[in-house]
Amino acid sequence: MNYKESDKVIDVAEEITNDVEKLNKITYRFSKIGSKPQMQKTVVFEELKKVTDYFERRLPQTGKSVELIIEGDKEVCAEMNPELFEWVIENLIKNALDAIEEKTGTIRIGVSEVKKNVNIEITDSGKGIDLKRRKDVFRPGYSTKRRGWGLGLSLAKRIVEGYHGGKIYVKSSIHGEGTTFTILLKKC
């Protein structure tokens, strides 16, 4: 209450509330692994927006100036467990941020309808993935990071393919230019 800039105190307090919600979410997610998650019809764009909004707030703390863009079909809907889907997208965005070694960069998420599927593409302007490694990246324990666990993408694969009957793969990658991951989910 004595703090000179009371607005900032309120901001921080709100952010703490967000953090607590976030921790709840993480607990919930772990409780869902191994059990049958509930599926619901979800507007994909809106779900993605929730994740990017979260990152937008946190980006300033990374010291990088990365532009996060979502574009495409705002209506298309997929049968999904939103909590687990958010987890997948978070992992992909985190990896994209790690891959961007320069001070500035872009992460672009595109949503479209392709036949019976919703196609989600996540493209970063990062350092790229060696073509020979594009399957290995989904292997549990595979990491090229000094402090990496190598679990993010294996979890993403399990969620997308195991729980949702979808597909996730490296669509393309160019050394020094960037990478695109594709996720396919069944349209509702």
Ligand X SMILES: Nc1ncnc2c1ncn2[C@@H]1O[C@H](COP(=O)(O)OP(=O)(O)O)[C@@H](O)[C@H]1O
41 DSSP β-pair partners:
79
Rounded least distance, CB 93 to Mg ion, Å: 10
Q: How many chain residues touch ligand X (CB under 6 A)? A: 22
Among 48, 153, 168, 184, binds ligand X (CB under 6 A): 153
Residue 129 touches which of ligand X, Mg ion, none (CB < 5 to 8 A by kind)? ligand X
Residues 46-85 that bind Mg ion (CB under 5 A): none
Please give the torsion angle defined by the CA atoms of residues 94, 150, 33 and 111, in that order, rounded to the nearest 10 degrees.
40
Residue 99 within binding range of ligand X, rule CB under 6 A: yes
Of 171 and 187, which has the nearer Cβ to ligand X?
171
Q: Match 């901001």 to its residue by tokens.
A: 11
Q: Match 């998650």 to its residue by tokens.
A: 37
Rounded least distance, CB 74 to ligand X, Å: 25
Please answer whether residues 164 and 118 qualify as being in contact, where contact means their C-beta atoms are separated by less than 8 angstroms.
Answer: no
Among 129, 159, 160, 183, binds ligand X (CB under 6 A): 129
Residue 124 touches which of Mg ion, ligand X, none (CB < 5 to 8 A by kind)? ligand X
Round to whole Å and give the CA distance between 73 and 4. Answer: 45
Among 95, 105, 118, 163, binds ligand X (CB under 6 A): 95
Q: Quick one: which of 139, 47, 121, 59 has its CA closest to 84?
A: 47
Q: Match 């230019």 to its residue by tokens.
A: 177
Task: Locate 101 and state its tokens.
Answer: 């070694």
Binding site for ligand X (CB under 6 A): 91, 95-96, 99, 124, 126-129, 137, 142-145, 148-154, 179
